[in-house]
Amino acid sequence: MTESNNKVAIVTGGGSGIGEATAEVLAQTGSSVVVTDIDAAAAEQTAQIIQQRGQRALSMEQDVRSREQWDDVFAAAKEHFGPVTGLVNNAGVSGAGRDRLEEEGGLEAWQSIMSINLDAVHLGCRKAIQEMKLTGGSIVNISSVMGLVGGAGPAYNASKGGVRLLSKSIAVHCGKMGYSIRCNSVHPGYIWTPMVRNIVENMEDVDTEEELHEMLLALHPVGRLGHPDDIANGVNFLLSDQASFVTGSELVIDGGYTSV
């Protein structure tokens, strides 16, 4: 069993993929973790895996678009484990095939994607600052390489680019206010998760997951697609005291995708 490091972290979208891996890595390094997901059963499964290893976790159903549910999550974290010291805004949607600007329903798709990928991150950051401004802490917002380059659809690109600059703005704001709160964004390349595998359904020139995997593989000079732990380890670093001089930065973990 890992010894306590007195850190308490909230991980949204923790029921699968990057969020699940992040919750597990944080627990393994001693943090108490609140795992939230709109899929309550998935969040509970992640929490149970952590608990079975003798580590500390709590699961909660959360719609990250709800301000009231953000209040509930932070209150539960404090009640069970103590004041929150870290927030990982990981929950998000891909928007693949939905946000074509010129087509019918494009505005509705834009608003739906933004509400989860950007507005909800803003809500989480606001609540985290309110809770951590006296005690200090760290916020990590999961963006994407598509927050740095175009190509994934206007709404997705704009939402993830917005997360990048929101994170920088929060870092500057907290510094000016004298809050001991750091804020950074993480930009994964293509990580072989259920969300990525499902985009095959919206691609005209790719029919199978195997074809999708080969197409994406060619875009990453490192010679493989990412694993959720690749991102989780980066998040763990940014939440740790080892990153005490890191704020307002973007950590690109993309296997060289943006270097081509």
Q: Which residues are catalytic?
A: 156
CA–CA distance from 196 to each of 93, 212, 215, 236, 251 (Å)? Answer: 10, 9, 12, 22, 20
**Do 90 and 9 meet the contact criterion of CB atoms below 8 Å apart?**
no
**H/E stretch holding 22:** helix 17-28
Radius of gyration of the chain (CA): 18
In angstroms, rounded to a whole number, what is the distance separating the alpha carbons of residues 68 and 60?
Answer: 13
Residue with structure tokens 């998040």? 235
Instruction: Give the span between the Cα atoms of 106 and 73, in whole angstroms.
Output: 32
Residue 197 near residue 209, CB atoms below 8 Å: yes
Cβ(23)–Cβ(98) below 8 Å: no
SS3 content of the chain, % helix, strand, coil (to 5): 50, 15, 35
- Orientation angle between helical segments 154-177 and 120-132, nearest 10 degrees: 10
Q: Which of the 8 DSSP states describes residue 101?
A: T
User: Which tokens hold the place of 140?
Assistant: 């990590």
